[in-house]
Amino acid sequence: MVKKANWSPSEDAILRSELEKKTPLKDIADMLCKTEDAVYLYCYRHNIPLRPRLKNPMMRKLLEIKFGRSELFKPDRGFFERVGINQKRWSELAWGYVQPTQDEMMRVAKELNFTVEETFKLMDSRQLDLFEKI
């Protein structure tokens, strides 16, 4: 059995900087003298995104308002059927990789018992952020 080696802060810094440069995971693993699986699992355990996230993810904000931490929400098959979103699309929305459509946002908000006003207020904040960037 191979002894597990702890990650040093310098290895963590290298990993994060290389992910920002969009270096492939295999190359990062070779750089750190670790397996590709070890690097992937470290990213998973420490909530390090493997690809760029949005600055203002609407679905993630909706979940954080309802649950405090979006990771605490574990949808079941019935939820996916009621809102009409498949698991792959949901994971991209919940992790903040893509923005939801207005229709998706309204269906999820209705399922989580948000009022229409609260949902539109959250969606309007997205438009306000757009004008602040200009």
Give the range of the structural domain holding residue 29, as residue numbers without chain letter.
Answer: 9-45
Mean pLDDT, all residues of the chain: 86
pTM over 0.85: no
pLDDT tens for each residue of 53-83:
888 888 988 888 888 888 888 999 999 999 9
The residue among 92 and 53 whose pLDDT is bigger is 92
Q: State the pLDDT confidence band at 85, using cuts at 50, 70 and 90.
A: very high
Number of other CB atoms surrounding residue 91 within 10 Å: 12
**Same domain (yes/no): 26, 82:** no
- The pLDDT value given to residue 107: 93
pLDDT at 127 over 80: no
**Same domain (yes/no): 34, 90:** no
CA distance 96 to 8: 28
**Same domain (yes/no): 15, 79:** no
Q: How many domains does the chain have?
A: 2
- The pLDDT value given to residue 56: 84
**Same domain (yes/no): 28, 70:** no
Burial of 62 from C-beta contacts in 10 A (0-12 / 13-18 / 19+): buried
Identify whether 78 is part of a domain. yes
CA distance 69 to 62: 10
**Same domain (yes/no): 16, 37:** yes
pLDDT at 35 over 70: yes
pLDDT at 130 over 90: no
